Amino acid sequence: MTATLEETPRATRQPSRDQNKRFAYLLLLPALLPVVMLSAAPLLRGVFLGFTDARAGRNVDINFTGLENYQELVQDTQFWDAFKVGLIWAFAVTILQFGLGLGLAGLLNQPLRLRWLARTLALVPWAMPPVVVGIMWKLVYHPDAGMLNEAFSRVGLDGLRHNWLGDFSTALPAVILVGIWAGLPQTTIVLLAGLQGVPRELHEAAQMDGAGAFRRFRAVTWPALAPVVVAITSLDFIWNFNSFGLVYVLTAGGPGGKTMLPMLFAYEEAFRYGHYGYAAALGNVMVLLIVALLAVYLRRRLREAN
Amino acid sequence: MARSRTASVKTFKRAAQYLTLGCYLVFLGFPLVWLLSISFKEPREMVELHPTLIPKHPTLQNYVTAFTEQDLARSALNSLIVASASAALTVLLALPAAYSLVRFKTRLSTITLGWVLVSQLFPFVLLVIPLFLILREAGLTNTRFGLILVYVTWSLPFALWMLQGFVRGIPRELEEAASVDGASRLQVLRRVVAPLLAPGLVATSLFAFISAWNEFFFALVLLKSPELATLPVTLARFVGVEGIARLGPLAAGSLLATLPSLVFFAVLQKRLAEGSLAGAVKG
């Protein structure tokens, strides 16, 4: 390894610039290798696949089909239905999560007794694997043995008993509620961290000037929180739009496609019907649409901020 | 008079706050209580039309079934293997890389940091199918190693991000002192930097472990043999064939699957509440 002090004069023991660079790359490369193989390569491959007729069971003659997949996709009502369901789901979950999360973060920021316990409990849904969350809520919604229907019966509202996940009109709202439940802790924690970053002195100054709670929120808290709000709502939106496990367990997209999220649809196309090329095209289109939506949102938010 | 009025307004406000907080906690906690309740119920109580919150004849049978049932025990072991290996490999790759990012500024390190940020925003829909095909061509579908590779790639960005923060906290003088004493750069990394990073390494590996433990989609797509299936996949299969009497073991199994993450959160909740780790964990 390195020579000892007695053998080498001090000056040459300082590693040269090139040596440093080589050492830096040596440390970095092992981490970059799987990344290039498993995220950069698939990215390019996915773009390519979208223009082919690749299918399950057909390994050799994959044909380049140009825009065929995309033409088919544009006319595929099931795709647009899934996209619409995905939008409703992602908007509803993100917005409600944000509203509820802001309220909860505000409360957890108050000097209440047992606050540490409340903070811990508020994190619990986050600790559960999405599949387990799905299973748990399936048990809550169970038409016969479920807690929800029983609760309605207990308070004399037998008429409200319902097959929540099986009914066309209630399936999506029921699933959205679960989505909010599962994501609330994360949104709350981020907003809580944001609230703690709001300078206390500003609040006190505003209070001295006689500003009420609402005015203080609008004039002090909200502007300071804005960057956090933009970050968490856009991330939440992407995560929600791409979610899979939760709804897969709850309804698997049913009844009648009412809860068929884009990821569920892509999964079915690829791994049930084996339409790899088509599913890849679907992924590409979805990404373009999300990026476009986010660009519009971020531009508007940033303009407001300036 | 005015004084007591503001006092009572204050009390009223406090009461309203506690009430609202209570509602939140019921909303967040009650499904879990229901899951807990079902996990202690006997099969015959499950078919009664008006279920009660407190089991009439509490039993541990469901936990025994969940544990002894071939599927769940084996899946738990599979999950343990896959998650531990992913966590170990993630840390092993991320530690030198994070060190390199902080201590040596090169073009590659700038690119890497950029990718770390972008990857947090990237919708993984785009990757699913091509990634599946690449792994299939490499003969890695239906192997644990393939799944582990996916998880490592998945948690690396976050691990890098977190560890480089910890590396920044290490005083340079310590490393310089060691190298003056004749330690090679690799020795400095191993004997000086790594031990000082211990808390960061623990937190990072736990995060990698939990995200692998919870992951469902790739486990579902990549592993076709039931004897390789991880816990979330097996539990999901259970749901598909749920007879009402099977709800008990299903609930018990689900709770057992949550245990590692719950312990983790209990230990790290203060740090999490401080927001230092927030924002980078996928739900």
What's the CATH number where A93 sits? 1.10.3720.10
- Structural domain contains residue A7: no
Q: How confident is the model at residue B178 (pLDDT cuts 50, 70, 90)?
A: confident
Task: Kindly state whether B43 is in contact with chain A, defined as any CB-CB distance less than 8 angstroms.
Answer: no
Contact A172, A185 (CB under 8 A): no
CB contact under 8 A, A124 and B150: no
Choose the mutation target among B129, B184, B259 for the interface with A, i.e. most A CBs under 10 Å. Answer: B129
- Structural domain contains residue A15: no
Number of domains making up chain A: 1
What is the reported pTM?
0.86
- Structural domain contains residue A138: yes
- Alpha-carbon distance of B283 to B269, in angstroms, equals 16
- Structural domain contains residue A24: no
Choose the mutation target among B126, B193, B270 for the interface with A, i.e. most A CBs under 10 Å. Answer: B126
- Alpha-carbon distance of A266 to B129, in angstroms, equals 9
Task: Kindly state whether B142 is in contact with chain A, defined as any CB-CB distance less than 8 angstroms.
Answer: no
Measured between CB atoms, which of B31, B108, B251 is closest to A28?
B108
- Structural domain contains residue A63: no
Give the Cβ contact number of residue B171 at 10 Å. 9
- If you count them, how many residues does chain A have? 306
Q: How confident is the model at residue B282 (pLDDT cuts 50, 70, 90)?
A: very low
- Structural domain contains residue A18: no
CB contact under 8 A, A193 and B278: yes
- Structural domain contains residue A57: no
What ipTM does this complex have?
Answer: 0.84
Domain that residue A143 falls in: 68-305
Task: Kindly state whether B187 is in contact with chain A, defined as any CB-CB distance less than 8 angstroms.
Answer: yes
Average pLDDT by consecutive 10-residue portion of chain A (306 residues)? 46 67 89 85 89 80 86 93 95 96 92 82 86 93 86 84 90 96 92 86 83 84 87 88 92 91 93 92 89 86 71
Nearest-CA distance B196 → chain A (Å): 18
Nearest Cα residue to A34 out of B123, B229, B89: B89
Q: What is the pLDDT of residue A60?
A: 61
Backbone φ and ψ of A52, nearest 5°: -125, 170
Give the Cβ contact number of residue A301 at 10 Å. 15
Per-residue pLDDT of B115-151, as tens digits, reads: 777 776 666 777 888 999 999 999 999 999 999 999 9
Nearest CA in chain B to A132: B254
Measured between beta carbons, the chain B residues lying within 8 angstroms of A103 are: 20, 24
Backbone φ and ψ of A64, nearest 5°: -75, 120
CB contact under 8 A, A31 and B149: no
- Structural domain contains residue A42: no
CB contact under 8 A, B34 and A144: no
Contact B230, B78 (CB under 8 A): yes
Q: Which of A243-247, B2-6, B168-172 has the lowest mean pLDDT?
A: B2-6
Chains A and B form CB pairs within 8 A to the count of 288
